[in-house]
Structure 1
Amino acid sequence: MLPAEWYLSAHERGNPSTRLDRRHADGRAWTEGNLVTPLIHGKAYFSALAERVPQMGRGDLLLFVDWRGDPDERLTGEPGSEVASLFAEAARRGVDVRGLVWRSHWDKLAFSADENRHLGEDINAAGGECVLDMRVRLGGSHHQKFVVLRHPGRPERDIAFLGGIDLCHSRRDDSTHAGDPQPQSMAKVYGPRPPWHDVQLALTGPVVGDVETVFRERWDDPQALSRSPIRRTLDKVRGDRPPRRPLPPQQPDPAPTGPHPVQLLRTYGHRLGGYPFAPRGERSVARAYAKAFANARHLIYLEDQYLWSSEVTALILAALRRAPDLRFVAVLPHQPDQDGTLSHAPNLVSRARLLERLHAAAPGRVAAYGIENADGTPVYVHAKVCVVDDQWVTVGSDNFNRRSWTHDSELSAAVAHPAFARDLRQELAREHLGTDTDLALEDHFDAYAAGAEALARWHRAPAGSPRPAGRLRPVDRPEQSRLTRLWADPLYRFVYDPDGRPLDLRLRRTF
């Protein structure tokens, strides 16, 4: 199938106010001629960033957007490779460093307000400009995670990184899943050094200009960074309100570097005052999944932090009913990331209901797995990856839930390229199955089932039995009482997974 059969047109994106599609002279809502490299796990991503940023010099431009940033996170594990140090040193060399970091809710609610503020302080003191951005719907977040490096006069060095990996603690893990030496606090089941599974993309070619445009639209938004007078006063007292200087003119897009067509997909909620570049929000993430699932015939392979909401269920169910040979495989966290009474049950109640509906609608064609490391510790799956029929891939910040599809800001890259899709699916399968053998599309479902069964048998076997190579086990599905469901379900629906669509779209049950 041609890319146009998988990608959204500018009309299908449903957001005529954005520059993202208008900037393409050929009328396409995507770019051709890119090179996309998957960076599996934070260690690979952080190493690439730590290599690239020190090579930047005066007049170059470094743009970054983050949900959480820990200034002391060491990108290589060595002193001096801290995120704040890397970006601050670049600013002192004359690199124009700009950052948009979500302001965040209070740390007492297991968020990162203090860390994000301190990251900005270090960069601003060095001459960069990092601002705390709270221009979101009530209870929402800026969840995008990307970095753009531009080099005027050296466009061959231009690169963008985007995906699901924040510049913070716990992310610097690798395929051994021993965890980041700088961990963040998580549920006890994940241990003192939580193992972490994640994916980022390195992008070169014309798509770098698209990623930069996403940053520029947000940076140029003239609205106040926070509507709270208390926060604005505190910012002024602490000196946390650097002026947003205009960005330098955008350079021409880099020349083609590879064979991959790439489309950027986004979510912006419908918020009070609106975004100038998305007055009614944007839901191209959800719309792209709907189009891709309509094309699915063989396998939808998902790795995601969440699997929630009736809207998500409806799209998957429709695909399974339309295509009798279609199978659905999901790799998910065994347990939520937090143990709290008000976080654990709501995180599981909708996932359990969704999986029950899928299994009932397509018996024998739906499977959900978690991962564990060699010590038997569950691995927290934070990746946001979907591969459809080895034809279309999306990697980004959005999760499989209503919040990510309608409410928070998200950014993902879709790649409609058979070889890229197949290679990424096989690379992930090799890790989870502990094998060097490439896995054919038609064998994927059964191979995961066999691998999970082998590990389950080993756990039931007497101590000392040789452990199989794979890491997959059926995802934990703890029983929840009726009473628990009664209080957890509304909390999930209205707090954890809110709806950010305009009212007319909610009523029409469409995106």
Structure 2
Amino acid sequence: MNQSDVTATGSQMQIPFIATGSYPLRNGNMIRPLVDSGPAFRRICEAVEAARHSVWLTVTFMAPDFQMPDGRGSLFDVLDRAAARGLDVRVIFWRPNPESSGYGQAFWGSQAEREGLGARGSRFRIRWDRAHGYYCQHQKSWLIDAGQPDETAFVGGINPTFRSVEPGHAGEGQRHDVYVEVAGPSATDVHHNFVQRWNEASERAEEDGVWGHSGDEKMPFPTSVSNSRGGSLLQIQRNVHAGRYSDGCPTPGGSLYDIASGERTIFDQYVQAINAARRTIYIENQAIPVPEIAARLEEALKRGVDIVLLVPAEPEEHVRKYRQRPDSESFFEQIAALGRYENFALAGIAGPNGRGGRSSIYVHAKIMLVDDEWATIGSCNLHSNSLFGHTEMNASFHDPHVVRELRCQLLSEHLGQDTGQLDDRAALRRYRDIAHANRLGRDRGDFNWQGLAFSMDPAAYGQ
């Protein structure tokens, strides 16, 4: 499909995509959201096992003992088997700088870790890549059979670290998260991103910066766009710190982009989508929004948009510490302001813990659904590090059928109720009602809730 066809189709949409960035808006994609790590990694492993040519992935955090579904073993077990079949298997791992050490469980290529790879006889290729300063390489992506007719990408926020939500039980360390499978022309842009990062990985010239190959090796950029696999409009978007990469070779069918100056298309997309929302905004994110996003959410509330924001019920310790600082007052005031609107709900989720109570489920997802027709899924949190420092990747798409189905799946998990018979506005109002009722039950010690969601006071979040 040529650009004029995309423009004609896009003119019927209310949510604008990004006009300038590394990657263009493309039609002809197949999109499949994958909710929580069990289903997501099951599907990814199936794709790896069916691969005929290559398996490439970018990893931020990992737990060596994390087990893939259905007895497939660890991440390295999956990759070793693929390499043993003769596939081209490559991984880009983040290597923290001294100022970012201790930020998550990174496989940074220590001597012990490299000895472990040797003991396994691992033959896949690795490059380690640093980020700028105290930021991190936060992209989570898989690419299967890059450049082949059945090229398939997976983009999202799930690390191979924690168990996903399990019906009827919520234990310590359990998380809720989302990935999206993409097949079609936009998978080519995930391919381009991987090659750009691989060729300029910061540690490629270091003795301990590569595994299984020479750091002098360069990969060719893709030269053609993958065939159409569906009917969804999709754009791959990134945040990249200035000065991190320099080769601006354009993606096939795309325009030359000055990547050396950095990229902020995910941030720009969030702003444009919130500004254009007419009925509903549903957000799941690991962080409460930065002021630049919160202010636009308040403007949407003023014009009557229904908004639900799902975040971790128990925020990370740095949120609590930040709340105690005098210079944080205006930040939390903007979040508190959202709670003054009847059409807004701040929510968390918690499941039965087997002891008569509830345990919080950590929300690690980074998604937004707008008007039951447009969505973004990826690695980008709504905090300043992700929006202005980390390397991130999101897939933003327009497909009312897929978005509505995703909304129904998520709300079924969180509310214990099918909202398929409701439109998006009625569904979010139902969310607010159930979350409020569950909060009242929690306050009086009654944990016999409907679903998992409960409302929280924005003015008290993080105290």
TM-score range, shorter chain: 0.7 to 0.9
Looking at structure 1, the residues matched to 323 and 246 of structure 2 have their Cα atoms a distance apart, in angstroms, of 33
Which residue does 1:3 correspond to in 2?
10
Q: Specify the SS of the correspondent of 1:146.
A: strand
Shift of the alpha carbon at 1:85? 1.2
Q: Specify the SS of the correspondent of 2:260.
A: coil
Shift of the alpha carbon at 1:197? 0.5
Shift of the alpha carbon at 1:41? 0.2
Among residues 150, 153, 158, which one is paired with 1:165 in the alignment?
A: 158
Does 2:91 correspond to 1:96?
no
Which residue does 2:299 correspond to in 1?
318
Does 2:49 correspond to 1:69?
no
115 and 403 in structure 1: CA distance in 2 versus 1, 3 angstrom threshold: closer
Q: Specify the SS of the correspondent of 1:373.
A: strand
Which residue does 2:256 correspond to in 1?
none
Shift of the alpha carbon at 1:454? 2.3
Which residue does 2:251 correspond to in 1?
none
408 and 264 in structure 1: CA distance in 2 versus 1, 3 angstrom threshold: same
Looking at structure 2, the residues matched to 301 and 120 of structure 1 have their Cα atoms a distance apart, in angstroms, of 45
Shift of the alpha carbon at 1:475? 2.7
Among residues 427, 430, 435, which one is paired with 1:447 in the alignment?
A: 430
Is the CA contact 2:60–2:106 (under 8 Å) kept in the aligned structure 1? no
Shift of the alpha carbon at 1:218? 1.4
Shift of the alpha carbon at 1:289? 1.5
Which residue does 1:185 correspond to in 2?
none
Give the structure with the larger helix fraction.
1
Does 2:189 correspond to 1:210?
yes
350 and 246 in structure 1: CA distance in 2 versus 1, 3 angstrom threshold: farther
259 and 340 in structure 1: CA distance in 2 versus 1, 3 angstrom threshold: closer
Q: Specify the SS of the correspondent of 2:233.
A: strand
Spell out, residue by residue over 1:31-90, the C-alpha distance to the aligned partner (whole angstroms, 9 max, x if none): 111110110000001111222212334xx1211011112333211152x52101111221
Does 2:34 correspond to 1:42?
no
Is the CA contact 1:384–1:395 (under 8 Å) kept in the aligned structure 2? yes
Does 2:416 correspond to 1:434?
yes
Looking at structure 1, the residues matched to 115 and 309 of structure 2 have their Cα atoms a distance apart, in angstroms, of 36
Looking at structure 1, the residues matched to 66 and 109 of structure 2 have their Cα atoms a distance apart, in angstroms, of 12
Is the CA contact 1:332–1:475 (under 8 Å) kept in the aligned structure 2? no
Q: What RMSD, in angstroms, separates the aligned Cα atoms of the two structures?
A: 3.3
Looking at structure 1, the residues matched to 390 and 318 of structure 2 have their Cα atoms a distance apart, in angstroms, of 24
Is the CA contact 1:338–1:344 (under 8 Å) kept in the aligned structure 2? no
> What amino acid is the match of 1:73?
F
Looking at structure 2, the residues matched to 429 and 355 of structure 1 have their Cα atoms a distance apart, in angstroms, of 23
Which residue does 2:270 correspond to in 1?
289
Which residue does 2:247 correspond to in 1?
276
Paired residues, number: 434
Which residue does 1:300 correspond to in 2?
281
Spell out, residue by residue over 1:215-250, the C-alpha distance to the aligned partner (whole angstroms, 9 max, x if none): 1111222x74389xxxx57x37x9799525222563
Looking at structure 2, the residues matched to 432 and 291 of structure 1 have their Cα atoms a distance apart, in angstroms, of 27
Q: Specify the SS of the correspondent of 2:268.
A: helix
Does 2:120 correspond to 1:127?
no
Shift of the alpha carbon at 1:340? 9.8
> What amino acid is the match of 1:369?
A
Is the CA contact 2:155–2:394 (under 8 Å) kept in the aligned structure 1? yes
Looking at structure 2, the residues matched to 220 and 260 of structure 1 have their Cα atoms a distance apart, in angstroms, of 30
270 and 371 in structure 1: CA distance in 2 versus 1, 3 angstrom threshold: same
Which residue does 2:359 correspond to in 1?
377
> What amino acid is the match of 1:266?
R
212 and 240 in structure 1: CA distance in 2 versus 1, 3 angstrom threshold: closer
Is the CA contact 2:57–2:91 (under 8 Å) kept in the aligned structure 1? yes
Of the structure 1 ranges 239-248 and 351-360, higher mean CA displacement relative to structure 2 is found in 239-248
Of the structure 1 ranges 255-264 and 378-387, higher mean CA displacement relative to structure 2 is found in 255-264
Does 2:199 correspond to 1:220?
yes
Is the CA contact 1:104–1:111 (under 8 Å) kept in the aligned structure 2? no
Shift of the alpha carbon at 1:177? 6.9
Which residue does 1:357 correspond to in 2?
337
339 and 77 in structure 1: CA distance in 2 versus 1, 3 angstrom threshold: farther
Which residue does 2:310 correspond to in 1?
331
> What amino acid is the match of 2:234?
V
Among residues 142, 152, 155, which one is paired with 2:149 in the alignment?
A: 155
Looking at structure 2, the residues matched to 291 and 54 of structure 1 have their Cα atoms a distance apart, in angstroms, of 39
Structure 2, unmatched stretches of 5+, are 1-7, 249-258
Which residue does 1:496 correspond to in 2?
none
Looking at structure 1, the residues matched to 461 and 409 of structure 2 have their Cα atoms a distance apart, in angstroms, of 35
Is the CA contact 2:94–2:107 (under 8 Å) kept in the aligned structure 1? no
Looking at structure 2, the residues matched to 391 and 480 of structure 1 have their Cα atoms a distance apart, in angstroms, of 30
Looking at structure 2, the residues matched to 448 and 398 of structure 1 have their Cα atoms a distance apart, in angstroms, of 24
Among residues 428, 439, 448, which one is paired with 1:456 in the alignment?
A: 439
Aligned-residue sequence identity (percent) comes to 24
450 and 318 in structure 1: CA distance in 2 versus 1, 3 angstrom threshold: closer
> What amino acid is the match of 1:44?
P
Is the CA contact 1:266–1:411 (under 8 Å) kept in the aligned structure 2? yes
Which residue does 2:255 correspond to in 1?
none
Which residue does 1:468 correspond to in 2?
449
Looking at structure 2, the residues matched to 310 and 202 of structure 1 have their Cα atoms a distance apart, in angstroms, of 31
39 and 177 in structure 1: CA distance in 2 versus 1, 3 angstrom threshold: farther
Looking at structure 2, the residues matched to 473 and 62 of structure 1 have their Cα atoms a distance apart, in angstroms, of 40
> What amino acid is the match of 2:58?
V
> What amino acid is the match of 2:10?
P
Instruction: Map 1:72-87; keep pairs closer than 5 Å.
Output: 72-76=65-69, 78=71, 80-87=72-79
77 and 295 in structure 1: CA distance in 2 versus 1, 3 angstrom threshold: same
Q: Specify the SS of the correspondent of 1:109.
A: coil
Is the CA contact 1:84–1:119 (under 8 Å) kept in the aligned structure 2? no
Which residue does 2:393 correspond to in 1?
411
Is the CA contact 2:35–2:178 (under 8 Å) kept in the aligned structure 1? yes
Runs of 4+, deviation exceeding 4 Å? 105-108, 114-117, 238-242, 338-346, 348-351, 460-463, 476-481
Among residues 213, 217, 222, which one is paired with 1:245 in the alignment?
A: 217
Q: Specify the SS of the correspondent of 1:279.
A: helix
Which residue does 1:500 correspond to in 2?
none
Shift of the alpha carbon at 1:252? 4.1
Of the structure 1 ranges 438-447 and 200-209, higher mean CA displacement relative to structure 2 is found in 438-447
Of the structure 1 ranges 409-418 and 122-131, higher mean CA displacement relative to structure 2 is found in 122-131
Shift of the alpha carbon at 1:120? 10
Q: Specify the SS of the correspondent of 1:155.
A: coil
Is the CA contact 1:434–1:471 (under 8 Å) kept in the aligned structure 2? yes
Looking at structure 2, the residues matched to 391 and 240 of structure 1 have their Cα atoms a distance apart, in angstroms, of 44
Is the CA contact 2:271–2:293 (under 8 Å) kept in the aligned structure 1? no
> What amino acid is the match of 2:236?
L
Shift of the alpha carbon at 1:125? 4.7
Is the CA contact 2:240–2:262 (under 8 Å) kept in the aligned structure 1? yes
163 and 313 in structure 1: CA distance in 2 versus 1, 3 angstrom threshold: same
Shift of the alpha carbon at 1:341? 7.6
Looking at structure 2, the residues matched to 216 and 120 of structure 1 have their Cα atoms a distance apart, in angstroms, of 27
